Amino acid sequence: MCRELREPMVLSSRRAARTLCAVKRLLTRRWVATHALVVALVVLFLLLGWWQLQRAETGNSRSWAYTLEWPTFALMIVGFWLKIMREELHPKPEPGGESAAGARRVRRRRARAGAGDAAEDPELAAYNRYIAELAERRDRS
């Protein structure tokens, strides 16, 4: 989560901060490379469509199909690109998965349940305390 959202703000500035946060997420090195690849592929596919149109006009009948195929590929690339950006900004919860709070409760219950077994083994008890401490630290951050 972006730092701007943690500070108290007016409603309109919160919306602006969320938008800025979303834009920042799509400007990492990986995403800039993805954007550049998409632009390059779209330009390439449109140029290939134009080339096939020129060939079709000179009498190559098979090129008429390719004239429509290459721009269709360009549209598919744009559609996939929009889809992965939308999934990055609005991830879907895993099917059958629990909320983060529910998962924390389950981890705590398991840690408490394991405490009875740990009474028999001091090494296991120390390990379980360590794991519980790590889980609490992660929950706080």
Mean pLDDT of the chain: 80
Residue 5 above 60 pLDDT? no
pLDDT, tens digit (0-9, with 9 covering 90-100), for 24-39: 888 889 999 999 999 9
pLDDT, tens digit (0-9, with 9 covering 90-100), for 55-102: 999 988 888 999 999 999 999 999 999 999 988 888 777 665 556 666
Single out the residue of 113, 90, 54, 133 nearest to residue 141, CA to CA.
133
Q: Within 10 Å of residue 52's Cβ, how many Cβ atoms?
A: 21
Q: Which two tokens stand for residue 91?
A: 């991830």
CA dist 82 and 80 (Å) reads 5
Single out the residue of 67, 86, 74, 68 nearest to residue 22, CA to CA.
86
